[in-house]
Structure 1
């Protein structure tokens, strides 16, 4: 990983039995695989990468295998749902459903979040219940509302597939198809999904792009009224906050408190990144808002009261006041965070 991890080229070697003329006469072929590290081109100014990524470096064949698994519907019980079914590249690896929909049309609890810049995140999911990206793939595989399968069932489906077997061997030193290989390769692929080539990035890098008047005014509004939560080059501080959005009617929802068990964390959610926000509607933990305008209208008109409502809102009478012109300009700026190269 450029600027972050050492460059390495891993050559895997293993012995393959190729002939046997008698009980004691074996012939072996030495097979060498060059499996170089993928250069992720870590952008300048981005946060530190998740430390667990150093233990699972993205390699040529690891990423190839992870991408294949990510798009494979065999990971679900009835072979109808892949990771890519809810995380579509054209939507910045999100979808347009308010709440995730799994096999047999089963409806989940939350909106499917985009998968972008995951290598820089320190926790995953709306409530931050996973600290290692390698632990995430099993969740949708075994969840009833998503894929409703098991890792054993997935392995049984692919362990005799010649293409899969070859990729596992090349990616993981001849170990064959394993659960750990599935988790690690998917994570390696997701580590490569870095978005840092929007108009905003090009303006910042002084590559000939300039903001329009509306975008520039919107950036000023953003710096004044939004940057407290949506900061760093990820446009999220990765904190958990209750900002008074409409409450999910499901009794299973508790936000961050589902992880910590603390009442103070009830209905707190991780601040989402605003990168590629233009492509990821609807918005909110269960898709409460169909458009960015609806989000801004709600924040400006006043949010729900709560004992643990974020202090920024409490100090401003439970709202972030915005004029109609400010909303228009703010949306114009947020659209400069769209990375067309990433979604295509």
Structure 2
């Protein structure tokens, strides 16, 4: 009788182990890599993304963290508070606004097509997206928190424990997993369905004014705003009005090289229609103001970009050319992306 009881207990234990194993295997198998639809003419992925490819639950977890105000010290600001979909994941403030209405140093950058970027932040301080989320979390003018404080707030949240289990195989909440999942979500924010893209794929045609704007753009703008992302991802001083905050030095904050003073990463022009105001600290309210400024003449400096230095510090544009350029730039708007 005792032998039979032992056999029954053994079988029951094995069944429990089997069921537990099956459940775990289902979770692993269910967390599949998300297929990202990327046009053939887009750049290569950032190498870091190859080791952190977006997965079903990794992206779900990343989006949850992205919209969670508990990432900030006083639980009032999330990533999505500044990176708003309707503005191509930027906002309409001149400078980013953090907790307690603190104004940041710079204009909020859009976070589209980050999968293909070589540098992150306006000064290129981060080379991989997985290293970027800590910046807003700890910055005084943004979330003013710490990653340990964030973990303390969410560690007993059952919805997070379930998602960490599904995304990473166990419930452990670590800084690395937080950063990786936010990056996975941001990697999925691909904008590639503008009128420009449809024209390139022979599905639509430019108007005559857009065609004229494209020709002007090719002559006078494509030196910096090149490629499928409409940025060569370089750092340039283009003579914009200077932010006199003593903490600002542009790219030189990272390199320590005076040649990089007030140089910033060339912005992508995709969805530029939605990302006003423009400039590193929102110096211009409209695209017309930017073009007027280029035409009138930019601020001179020793490290002013040669495109301006070699042309009397100007990009000469007629009013007709300015309007045509604006109409072309609006063909880079992706309405699906900002409303999905």
Normalised-by-shorter TM-score class: over 0.9
Q: Does 1:37 align with 2:28?
A: no
Correspondence 1:272 to 2:277: no
State the distance in 1 between where 2:235 and 2:139 align.
24
Matched, 1:301 2:284: no
Partner of 1:82: 78
2: CA distance, partners of 1:335 / 1:249 = 32
Task: Give 1:44 shift.
Answer: 1.1
TM-score of the aligned structures, taking structure 2 as reference length: 0.92
Which residue number corresponds to residue 290 of structure 1? 285
> Which of residues 309, 326, 330 in structure 1 aligns to 2:321?
326
Deviations 1:97-150 (A, max 9, x none): 000010000111000000000010001011000001001111101111000111
Aligned residues: 320
Q: What SS class does the counterpart of residue 140 from structure 1 fall into?
A: helix
- Structure 1 counterpart SS, 2:36: coil
In the alignment, what sits opposite 2:253? 258
Structure 1 stretches of 4+ with a deviation exceeding 3 A read 25-28
Aligned residue in 2 for 1:129: 125
CA distance in 1, matches of 2:96, 2:118: 23
Q: How far apart, CA to CA, are the structure 1 residues paired with 2:61 and 2:171?
A: 14
Q: What residue ranges of structure 2 are gaps of 5+ in the alignment?
A: 1-8
Q: Does 1:93 find its partner at 2:89? A: yes
SS in 2 for 1:36: coil
CA distance in 2, matches of 1:252, 1:177: 34
Query: 1:92, CA displacement in angstroms?
Result: 0.2
> Structure 2 matches for 1:32-181, cutoff 5 A?
32=24, 33=27, 34-181=30-177
Determine the C-alpha separation between the residues in 1 that align with 2:171 and 2:154.
14
User: Match for 1:206 among 197, 202, 214?
Assistant: 202
Assess if the C-alpha contact under 8 Å between 2:90 and 2:109 holds in 1.
yes
Greater fraction of residues in strand: 1
Partner of 2:3: none
Residue range with higher mean Cα deviation, 30-39 or 51-60: 30-39
How far off its partner does 1:175 sit? 4.6
Q: Is the 8 A contact 2:162 2:171 kept in 1?
A: no
**Aligned equivalent of 2:232:** 237
- Of 178, 185, 198, the residue aligned with 1:182 is 178
Partners in 2 of 1:310 and 1:57 — Cα distance?
36
Structural RMSD (CA):
1.2
